[in-house]
Structure 1
């Protein structure tokens, strides 16, 4: 339109800052890294490193058409991991980034906001209907992953039982701390073997399965774009439109609402940790999810507080998801571990296991009126990934970060289900 000023690249904002200002901050952060002036255990310095790396990589992903239309923002974590693998990020920057993600556990702070706000902001009817049926596609994914994986193992000369126990089970078992670690102890107790040997073997499959789940998340997202009938665009259950999945509020947001949302998120998160003392075999996040869902269904939380929790969740998701993705790539995605297990035999079997999880969860999900893509991603890929960190990677690659609550049900409660199954199988097969 004549007379309309063409938008300039300098008008764009990264992390709320105009591009020139963000560039200036980036120079300061990178310069301090090379000069050794970033504090090694500082939330400020570590967060700044993750912010700079994450937002510049997201800027590239949004500007390059082929990246934007294929892997999208998954480019952020993958490229950050590659920069680390090829030693292109100085140790003076990696150390504070690691402290930010692990020592201060900002990742848990982020997940707490997503779990609390996403569930409290859901349509109550959807939560009741979808929650009651959610384990059905999870079981479908497990059965097909075990079955197809075992058959694939036999095709390449592996024993069916061995493939289920040492390939399919760790992939579907909830990641490292809630999966490979306790599973190695179960196997050691059943055989009298060394749990460290079992752990090394299981963790290699967790790593390869996590990367494969990320690939399938990308493919499922593309399937949804090309075949719209297969997806709810972030809504799990048929009969709801995307805009129906979240409750609308009539309040005007204030800073008090944001603080209240933060307070609720912290309270629910810590409740989960307390409940975990009573049942250590179930992850604290599972208790958090269950308590938030109970409060939502029972109508315990006043609507204004719900509003605050939703606003806090959206603030964290809108502004810190890229920071988290940068941090996960810098500190938690090890390309070296992936390359170490990239043998043709295991790649084939793991691929079939994850394919089985996707098909089983997606197809069985159709029986309970779930969308194929959303069911395959949450009940399938979030069972087959590396646990909590894997949920973030899978959901970011599928562009469905709003489904974190369902992803965590898969990783935590679904992972606990796998441990029960493996306890029985270990006594019979090992």
Structure 2
């Protein structure tokens, strides 16, 4: 009798153990389905514990593995917060928080120095930013139809030029009326906003100003950088508003397509070669990634030899590859897959890295006086509004042309990423690069040439 009872207890204990084990499995499976960005909750908690441990041990390295963990954890954390806040999530809150909150917490020393050092060293030494841009630009271009590419690239200059002229006129009028002065408004607010960012805009402008106007470069740089930063922030927020408008008025947007004549998927190759190639193939994916990197390296070489901007050369080469059918369909599919991977997995980690290492909070808040704010916002709004209505007149999608114009008000390549992320249209990166790089270069060159003649 006692032995039978003992066996029953054993069977019962085994049954209870299996039940607990099954419940644990179910709980863990459910927890793995809860995600912060793309990170499953158990992995997210593990990353948190690891980062805290390495920071405590002062052993947080700046290698690629650590950088993936740190930027991924913080980037998706801030993005998730931005997506969860009721009002902010509607105007690109994920991109705004992932970029500008890290900048603020660095400035106010609310994040450990080890994390700042690790992130900054990796971002500066790895050229992480341009890996992202090359993947998005090359993949987006090779994923377009050839006819759309030619038509859209030609037409996109019209809203860009019209927006630049109108924004300059409005900005000068508003700034002068608010007592900032014509010269100050032109040289330190309007031109910097449209100069193409820090590296390609603020630095050459400050060098030119210092030589022509006999002032120190540091003084000139300090005067132009706040307008660039706040102009970029304004463009990010307004691009988020444009995204909301596109959802409410679907007839105004191509959801990443620029020209109304474009139809079908973003990747027309899929249907054309369905019988021959799969859309996603690891070998093609890897080949597409190597192609994107190779084109950027050719761009770097052209910059070293001839001073031509590397991203612009890369963009032109990608356009040539597409126009002259120099890559087979499977390679174009692979490059497009690479761009989709980067837009999904890398955007918010990169924005966090940009916020920590490339976005000085003190320069941003330096623009926070009422006259500057009104003038800067008037420039950006005019640029976007003219892009919208000109695009509509050209039978293009007005939301897309307005967003591309907004990139002309951004913080260079970093601004393009933040603006397009807020607008949820990273596939517009090739057009954004035209707006930022070419538009910015023309703005800086003409400004310095005219200043030489008339100052």
Change (3 A) 1:146 1:119: same
In structure 2, the residue corresponding to 1:369 is in which secondary structure?
coil
Q: Within 2, Cα distance between the matches of 1:156 and 1:82?
A: 29
Shift of 1:62: 4.1
Residue of structure 1 equivalent to 2:74: 53
Q: Are the structure 2 counterparts of residues 418 and 246 from structure 1 closer, same or farther at C-alpha, using a change threshold of 3 Å? A: farther
In structure 2, distance between residues paired with 1:232 and 1:104: 35
Equivalent pair of 2:259/2:396 in contact (CA under 8 Å): yes
Among residues 103, 109, 126, which one is paired with 1:104 in the alignment?
A: 126
Specify the SS of the correspondent of 2:408.
helix
* Counterpart selection for 1:207 from 225, 229, 239: 229
Aligned position for 1:277: 304
> Is residue 385 of structure 2 the alignment partner of residue 359 of structure 1?
yes
Q: Could you say if the C-alpha distance between residues 59 and 412 of structure 1 is closer, same or farther in structure 2, counting changes exceeding 3 Å?
A: same
Q: What's 2:362 paired with? A: 336
Q: Identify the residue that residue 195 of structure 2 maps to in structure 1.
A: 173
TM-score when normalising by structure 1? 0.91
The answer for the alignment partner of 1:384 in structure 2 is 409
Q: Extract unaligned runs of 5+ from structure 2.
A: 1-25
Counterpart position of 2:171: 149
How much has 1:167 moved relative to structure 2? 1.2
* Segment drifting more, 316-325 vs 170-179: 316-325
The equivalent of 2:425 in structure 1 is 400
Residue 199 to residue 365, structure 1, CA distance change in 2 (3 Å): same
C-alpha distance after superposition, 1:285-341 (max 9, x if no partner)? 001001100110111112222122112222222211122122223322332221122
Q: Does 1:260 align with 2:287?
A: yes
> Aligned pair count?
423
**CA distances 1:22-61 after superposition (whole Å, capped 9, x unpaired):** 321221123212331211x322222211011112233334
Cα pair distance change 1:368/1:382, threshold 3 Å: same
Inter-CA distance 182–59: structure 2 relative to 1 (3 Å threshold): closer
Alpha carbons of 1:202 and 1:60: their partners in 2 closer, same or farther (altered >3 Å)? closer
Residue 242 of structure 1 and its aligned partner are, at CA, apart by: 6.5
Q: Secondary structure at the match of 1:235?
A: coil
User: Which residue does 2:102 correspond to in 1?
Assistant: 80
For 1:64 and 1:343, locate their aligned partners in 2 and report how far apart those are by CA, in whole Å: 27
Deviation per residue, 1:122-181 (Å, 9 max, x gap): 121110110111211111111011100010012112333442222111110111111111
The two structures, once aligned, show a CA RMSD in angstroms of 2.3
59-68 or 346-355: which moved more? Answer: 59-68
Q: Distance in 2 between matches of 1:345 and 1:242?
A: 46
Give, in angstroms, the shift of residue 416 of structure 1.
1.2
Tell me the equivalent position of 1:69: 90
Q: Could you tell me how far 1:268 is from its partner in structure 2?
A: 0.4
- Determine if contact 1:220/1:377 at 8 Å carries over to the other structure: yes
In structure 1, C-alpha distance between the alignment counterparts of 2:264 and 2:181, rounded to whole Å: 45
Q: Is 403-412 or 247-256 further displaced after alignment? A: 247-256
Q: Which one is further off, 400-409 or 152-161?
A: 152-161
Answer whether contact 2:91 2:422 (CA < 8 A) is retained. Answer: no
Q: Is the 8 A contact 2:143 2:266 kept in 1?
A: no
Larger displacement relative to structure 2 (367-376 or 289-298): 367-376
Tell me the TM-score normalized by structure 2: 0.86
**3-state DSSP class of the match of 1:243?**
coil
Q: Is contact 2:38–2:76 with CA below 8 Å preserved after alignment?
A: no
Write the distance in 1 (CA, Å) between the matches of 2:410 and 2:318: 24
**Runs of 4+ displaced beyond 6 Å:** none
